[in-house]
Structure 1
Amino acid sequence: MPSKTLPAVLPGGGTTDYARYLRTDDLLALQRGPAEWVHPDELMFQIVHQSAELWLKLARTHLAGTLTHLTTGRVGEAELLLRRACLGLRLITDQLQMLRQLQPAQFALIRTVLGNGSGFESPGWQQLRSATIDLDIAFTSLLTSLDVTPAGIYREQPSDPLYRLAEALVDLDERIASWRTEHYQLATRIIGADVLGTRDMPVNALATLISHRRFPSLWQARTELTDHSPRGRHGHQDRR
């Protein structure tokens, strides 16, 4: 037998406390309705992007906490929040698979009602980019205070808290690159490569963003370690 519905006791709209706490009436009213659609797949398009903004909101909240922990030297706590942010980015990348269901002709219709909207205007991504700049500065400052170099971190054991923190930052960088890769592939799959996307930007220009590093010192550390290894960068004996 279905469980008995208890009366709502929380303030707000909705007939149940579930609806009132999660504000489901407001949440489910944020999408365009059937009478407004130029194509039914508008609902999918909006939900994917709206849910991405929610995950990005959570991710940047965790990154703000990470920054606080870094500035006070709490390395372990910073790593834990970074892992959560990375998971949020993985989820928004995975859900791009839904948009692979869009057919080019269908999306051509949907584009007509997007106005001048562009993913570059995403508040979630704008704030995430800003957060990674602050994190890179704070991480560099932490290493300076500890008299440790990025390459020096990787000479420690993987169980070292600073090593784990560095790898969490690299994971975050990779998650951003993975999203950009998937987004670029999705765009070329749906609208083509040799066309202009939003903001009249060539779609192929998206590919140039994939290799951008948010924490360059940690990537450079790998090159430095390889250069100073016995075989060197090119696989030959290093005679220095």
Structure 2
Amino acid sequence: MTKPYDPEGEGARMSFDGAMSYGDYLQLDKVLNAQAPISKAHDELLFIIQHQTSELWMRLAVHELTAAREALQGADMRPAFKMLSRVSRIFEQLNGAWDVLRTMTPSDYTTFRSSLGQSSGFQSYQYRQIEFILGNRNRAMIRPHAHRPDLAELLEAELDRPSLYDVALRALHASIPLPETVLRRDLALPHADDAAVVAAWTEVYRHPEQHWALYELAEKLVDLEDYFRRWRFNHVTTVERVIGFKRGTGGTGGVSYLKRMLEVELFPELWHLRTGL
């Protein structure tokens, strides 16, 4: 009889008394015991894991976007490009997650929806932080976090910082001057489409060999917004498929609210310039 394979014979460590194991490093006891369904519905675990894993990916997105914004303000902006590419891939992962959630039918969801109370993804502070970093800024969106002063303070602080696109525009300004109205705008408000910015980015696209770093930055930003838009669209489609046009558990209009978000442009000039090239 063939002796069973024992990986220890090839050097694999099999005893972890007093040593850090895989589960220890990842703190899997905490992670895998963080799911606490309230109902007895089979699909509630899917719903919880979908949203918890999304929050983990968003945590990484915040980490990468924050680092990218800092890198764009340095002497060499190129390290930011990898970080921005990574965020695009993160949103690709988040897009794929909707495919799993869409296996939950309306009948499945109604078996535990009442257990959610008024909790809603609308209240995700990390998602709001990502939107603020990307430039979709609205102080009213901090109010759902007023009961958590630490989170409200975190989001308020973000409104005092330049958005990722503000930093990109300052990098653009270093090569192609922009109006003071663009450079000294109220940071707490979203950036408004500006003809001078369209003209500056158009110059980059017409002569990429002269502005290669800015050209690459522009495409990284377009990639990011592309994946972000897809995530929003998939969100709308999933919600409509599961609850139709019911109001969201957090009190929003549900699908109507999400469709309004589809109209938001994060980096408007980078899209508008294409018509005139």
Q: Shorter-normalised TM-score: what interval?
A: 0.7 to 0.9
> Deviation per CA, 1:131-164, whole angstroms, max 9, x where unpaired?
1121011011111122261111211348922211
What secondary structure, in the 3-state scheme, does the structure 2 residue paired with 1:213 have? coil
Whole-Å separation in 2 of the counterparts to 1:26 and 1:182: 30
Does the CA-based 8 Å contact 2:57-2:90 persist in structure 1?
Answer: yes
Residue 142 of structure 1 is aligned with which of 146, 166, 171?
Answer: 171
Instruction: Note closer, same or farther for the CA distance 1:111–1:2 as it changes in structure 2 (3 Å cut).
Output: farther
Whole-Å separation in 2 of the counterparts to 1:123 and 1:102: 25
Aligned 1:105-116 pairs, distance under 5 A:
105-116=107-118
Tell me how far 1:8 sits from its aligned partner. 4.3
Q: Report the aligned-residue RMSD.
A: 1.8
Whole-Å separation in 1 of the counterparts to 2:89 and 2:22: 26
Structure 1 runs, 4 residues or longer, greater than 4 Å off: none
Whole-Å separation in 2 of the counterparts to 1:163 and 1:191: 42
Whole-Å separation in 2 of the counterparts to 1:82 and 1:191: 33
- The structure with higher relative contact order (CA 8 Å, sep 6+) is 2
What secondary structure, in the 3-state scheme, does the structure 1 residue paired with 2:64 have? helix
1:174 aligns with 2:206: no
Tell me how far 1:100 sits from its aligned partner. 0.8
Aligned 1:1-240 pairs, distance under 5 A:
1-4=5-8, 5-10=14-19, 17-32=21-36, 36-133=38-135, 134-147=163-176, 149-157=200-208, 160-193=212-245, 195-202=246-253, 203-223=255-275, 225-226=276-277
Tell me how far 1:92 sits from its aligned partner. 0.8
Whole-Å separation in 1 of the counterparts to 2:75 and 2:263: 30
Tell me which moved more, 176-185 or 111-120.
111-120
Tell me how far 1:90 sits from its aligned partner. 0.8
Number of aligned residue pairs: 217
Q: Percent same amino acid among aligned pairs? A: 29
Partner residue in 2 for 1:237 = none
